[in-house]
Amino acid sequence: MSFDFLQPDSLSGALEALAAYGDEAKVLAGGTAVVLMLQQRLIAPAALINIERVPDLNYINLKPEGMHIGPLTKLRDIERSTAIQEHCPLLSQTCGEVANVRIRNQATLGGNLAEADYASDPPTTLLALEAQVTTTSVRGTRCLALQDFHIGFFTTTLEPDELITDIFIPACPLESRMTYLKYKSRSSEDRPCTGVAALAAFDGKTCTELRLAVGAACEVPQRLPNIENMAKGQTLNDELVGEIAAGYAESIETLEDIRGSAWYRTQMIRTHVQRVLEDVRNGHR
Amino acid sequence: MKIEGTFKLHAPINVVWDYLLNIEEMSQCIPGIDTLEMIDAQSHRGTLQVKIGPIKAAFSGIVTLLEVEPPDRLVAVIDADDKRNASKVKATFTAILNADADGTVVTYTMDVNVRGRLAQFGQAVVQSTARKMAGTFSGCVQKKLNSSEAK
């Protein structure tokens, strides 16, 4: 196996390399996915473009309108960032649940989104947070909502010559509580069998907004606005929580893999949507 | 693993059947097919490129028609390997055609056995890939049937 190994030290250098190799190139960020696939000889790219030396892609910038996170930001840095812990605890909590600390020290948020592995934690939470992904190529810049970015198993709308250059998370609503519940069916460091992220805003005990995303159990993370809206203007009593959990379980087409059957995952969605709603209602998070 | 699905074609059952059995014509609608040559009346040798998640696989192998029962049942076996990914695929493909009010419903079942490196991709990923290919295939067949009807 042989390939060209490029280490551009500028964004324009990286984009030109991507434009030249197109589909035949693989971008190397943290390497936790690409290197494994190379080792197993599952991929044979003509070029490996290491973007580690590209400056200004590793940042966490807090603005009044929200948070900008650079694609090369390590999951561990997001987990430990006091700014994110304060303004968007859901994201730091979720990144802290990924694999183990050695992986989190290496894996990047941009790499995680570009790989689009369904069995992953951050995409589910980023969907609940209504994240936007900015991509750049020599042709220009695009900004996409996350639901328009992940479109299938390991499939994104990222063009072969594009690089993720920013991830934006709009400021969370005031008086909101949020949590991510990761369910692992095998071992403590495993990828999720089912992941549920919830963000709920309250006026007293009345829920004014609910965002609920389910991932890892289905091809791409999903939100169901019709069911989310059932919570609007209501108190999240046990009956309503049960209805929402049942609605999610019945509506989502679940997948089958080594971590659980489709039937099992439907049950796990019901259980974990219920638990996550009880957590945000009771203010445990 | 079992892969199942249906698609509908707006054409009479005998037209659909004739089209599907015209291997040379029909194969132009299979997404990712590179070459297909006839060995004998029952068998064809071909190569197919398919993207499974991040991986590009290139299969080469033989398709043999096992049971041909006009106009509604077809069974074929596929025996192929991908040398670069050290993987082998054996599959039995069954297609059942059903005439309905305004066309033909094709129901397909594939019993697929994947061995080697590609086997690590579970049923979910392979099934989704197959479903997308079937969607592309049926769309293409419908177009071809429409255009031949227009002639």
Residue range A179-206, pLDDT digits in tens: 999 999 999 999 999 999 999 999 999 9
A219/B86 CB distance under 8 A: no
Do B54 and A44 count as a contact with CB atoms less than 8 A apart? no
Residue B76 confidence (pLDDT): 93
A185 reaches B (C-beta below 8 A): no
In this predicted structure, the answer to whether residue B150 has a pLDDT above a threshold of 70 is: no
A149 close contact with B: CB closer than 8 A:
no
DSSP summary character for residue A230 = G
Which of 132-151 (B) contact A at CB < 8 A?
Answer: 132
Q: What is the mean pLDDT of residues A25-46?
A: 91
| Contact between chains at B117 and A42 (C-beta distance less than 8 A) | yes
Look at residue B82 and give its three-state secondary structure: strand
Q: Which tokens in the block code for residue A88? A: 């968007």
CB nearest A258 (choices: B53, B54, B122): B122
Q: What pLDDT is stored for residue B10 in this prediction?
A: 93
Chain B residues inside the 8 Å CB shell of A115: 54
Strand partners, A74: A108
Contacting residues of A for B86, CB less than 8 Å apart: 41
- Tell me if A155 and B125 make a contact (CB, 8 A cut-off): no
Q: What is the pLDDT of residue B151?
A: 55
| Min Cα separation A273/chain B (Å) | 22
Mean pLDDT computed over A87-93: 96
How high is the pLDDT of residue A196?
A: 98
Say yes or no: ipTM exceeds 0.90.
no
Q: What is the pLDDT of residues A98-115, one digit of tens each?
A: 999 999 999 999 999 999
For residues B87 and A42, give the distance between their C-alpha atoms in angstroms, rounded to a whole number: 10
Which residue does chain A place closest to B55, by CA atoms? A43
Mean pLDDT of B95-121: 89
Tell me whether the omega of the peptide bond preceding residue B71 falls within 30 degrees of 0, making it cis: yes
Spell out the residues 6+ positions from residue A9 whose beta carbon is closer than 8 angstroms to its own. Answer: A53, A54, A55
- Counting other chains too, the contacts that B72-81 makes at CB distance below 8 Å and 24 or more residues apart are B72/B13, B72/B17, B72/B96, B72/B97, B72/B98, B73/B97, B74/B20, B74/B21, B80/B48
Q: Do B124 and A118 touch (CB under 8 A)?
A: yes
pLDDT averaged over chain A? 95
The reported pLDDT for the residue numbered B114 is 86
Higher pLDDT, residue A87 or B54: A87
Tokens of A178: 């949020």
For B53, the closest of A41, A154, A257 (CB atoms) is A154
At residue A56 the predicted structure's pLDDT band, cuts being 50, 70 and 90, is very high
Distance CA B64, CA A162 (A): 42
Q: Does A154 touch chain B (CB under 8 A)?
A: yes
pLDDT score, position B85: 80
Q: Is A46 on the interface with B (CB under 8 A)?
A: no
Q: How does strand A163-170 pair with strand A155-156?
A: unpaired
> What domains, with CATH codes, occur in chain A?
4-50 (3.30.43.10), 60-170 (3.30.465.10), 176-281 (3.30.390.50)
DSSP result, A50-73: E-TT-TT-S-EEEETTEEEE-TT-
Please indicate if any CB of chain B lies within 8 Å of the CB of A151: no
- What would the pLDDT profile of A138-186 be if each residue is shown by its tens digit? 999 999 999 999 999 999 999 999 999 999 999 999 889 999 999 999 9
| B2 at A interface, C-beta within 8 A | no
Name the pTM for this structure: 0.88
